[in-house]
Amino acid sequence: MRLTHFLLAIGVSMVVCQSCGLAAEQAGAAAVEEKVIRVGMIGLDTSHVIAFTSILNNPNNEGDLAGVRVVAGFPGGSPDLPASRDRVEKYTEQLRQQGIEICKSIEEMLPKVDAIMIESVDGRPHLEQFRAVVKAGKPVFIDKPFAGSLADCLEIARLAREHNVPVFSSSSTRFSAGVQAARRGESPAGQVRGCHAWSPCSLEAHHPDLFWYGIHGVEILFTVMGKGCRSVTRVNTPGTDVVVGVWEDGRVGVFRGIREGRAEMGAMVFGTKAIVPAGPYDGYKPLVTEIAKFFKTGKPPVEMEETLEIYAFMEAADHSKHQGGTPVSIQSIIKAASEQRR
């Protein structure tokens, strides 16, 4: 009888242990599933903060968008820029009503978040805002424009390298399906031989001309063509900017910035098989999905070298304009901007 009782006791213990192990395993899995990447937004003066938060904080999110939530924000704002000054209070209040904690400073927000989105509509404060967060070592997405000058863009890139902080910046136009297909050579156009991209191009006095809104079309152009632009020439016609880039391999890419009338964002791709449109603009969700993946992996979906070349292209366009439409070397613009920071 004692042996029987002993064996029964062992059996019960094994069942209990197995049950405990299973419960611990399930609890561990649940903890993994429940882990949320907490996102903090800096600069609550653009409609992007409302749109991006609505996408990330959707309780029905699955896949790449699941487990990434905006939890805090710092309003910021630029008193000398109406597009910022006149909207920051409204968007801040909308986020507060969605349960987002509004912090009084970037320093107050940092311990509450795992990842950061610099959203200020004004590119000028982006460098100082990045300085305020870079030592925390958390991944950072910087909305367009990347900064208020190419020199500031280069400094952000330098700081990111120095502190080993993953960072990227992009317009949402980059991640539309048709633009990405052209990039991969998988559109009906085949391999890209040239591209003509366009977008609205309203100006803002504190930024180089194309930084403010032309970035959307320039981002499409570079997504399709890739990096390697050698020189830039800008021609001004009534209500329109035409900027022509010549790539190192002889390909030509054109950006047309439209200031008058209604203008969509798009491109025609000239390829080895056909000339085709790059497809419709797919909105914000593809970009926000890439941001969520970036926050999870720490791997930027856009190479910094390409982003810097985009901003050099746009700054070179201003130089060409001031020089009467003469070609301007991309490398000369990068060199000049680098020397500004020394």
323 with 204, same domain?
Answer: yes
pLDDT for 279 equals 87
271 with 187, same domain?
Answer: yes
DSSP-derived pairing of the beta strands 68-74 and 101-102: parallel
pLDDT for 34 equals 61
236 with 324, same domain?
Answer: yes
> Can you tell me the distance from the alpha carbon of 304 to that of 285, in angstroms, rounded to the nearest whole number?
22
180 with 145, same domain?
Answer: no
From residue 197, alpha-carbon distances to 135, 264, 275 in Å are 38, 10, 13
155 with 214, same domain?
Answer: no
Concatenating the DSSP letter of every residue in 267-300 gives EEEEESS-EEE------SHHHHHHHHHHHHH---
What 260-263 contacts at long range (C-beta under 8 Å, 24+ apart), as own/partner pairs, is 263/198, 263/199, 263/200, 263/201
152 with 256, same domain?
Answer: no
Tokens encoding 36:
């949320």
180 with 329, same domain?
Answer: yes
202 with 125, same domain?
Answer: no
The tally of domains found in the chain comes to: 2
> What pTM did the predictor assign?
0.89
32 inside domain:
no
145 with 183, same domain?
Answer: no
First CA to last CA across the chain, in angstroms? 89
**Across 107-237, where does the E strand assignment appear?**
115-118, 140-142, 167-169, 192-200, 229-237
> Can you tell me the distance from the alpha carbon of 255 to that of 139, in angstroms, rounded to the nearest whole number?
31
At 256, which helix (H) or strand (E)? strand 252-258
Instruction: Answer yes or no: are the C-beta atoms of 79 and 85 closer than 8 Å.
Output: yes
Q: What is the mean pLDDT of each run of 10 residues along the chain (342 residues)?
A: 42 44 46 77 97 98 98 96 93 97 98 98 97 97 98 98 98 98 96 97 94 97 98 88 97 94 89 96 97 98 98 98 96 94 67
Q: Which residues pair with 254 in a beta bridge?
A: 196, 244
> Can you tell me the distance from the alpha carbon of 327 to that of 230, in angstroms, rounded to the nearest whole number?
10
pLDDT for 262 equals 74
pLDDT for 31 equals 42
214 inside domain:
yes
> Can you tell me the distance from the alpha carbon of 55 to that of 61, in angstroms, rounded to the nearest whole number?
8
Instruction: Answer yes or no: are the C-beta atoms of 80 and 125 closer than 8 Å.
Output: no
Single-letter amino acid code for the residue at 263 = A
> Can you tell me the distance from the alpha carbon of 134 to that of 291, in angstroms, rounded to the nearest whole number?
17
3-state helix, strand, coil in the chain (%, to 5): 45, 20, 35
pLDDT for 180 equals 98
At 266, which helix (H) or strand (E)? strand 266-271
92 with 140, same domain?
Answer: yes
Single-letter amino acid code for the residue at 189 = A
Q: Which of 145, 172, 199 is the last residue of a domain?
A: 172
Instruction: Answer yes or no: are the C-beta atoms of 176 and 217 closer than 8 Å.
Output: no
pLDDT for 261 equals 73
DSSP 8-state secondary structure symbol assigned to residue 123: S
11 inside domain:
no
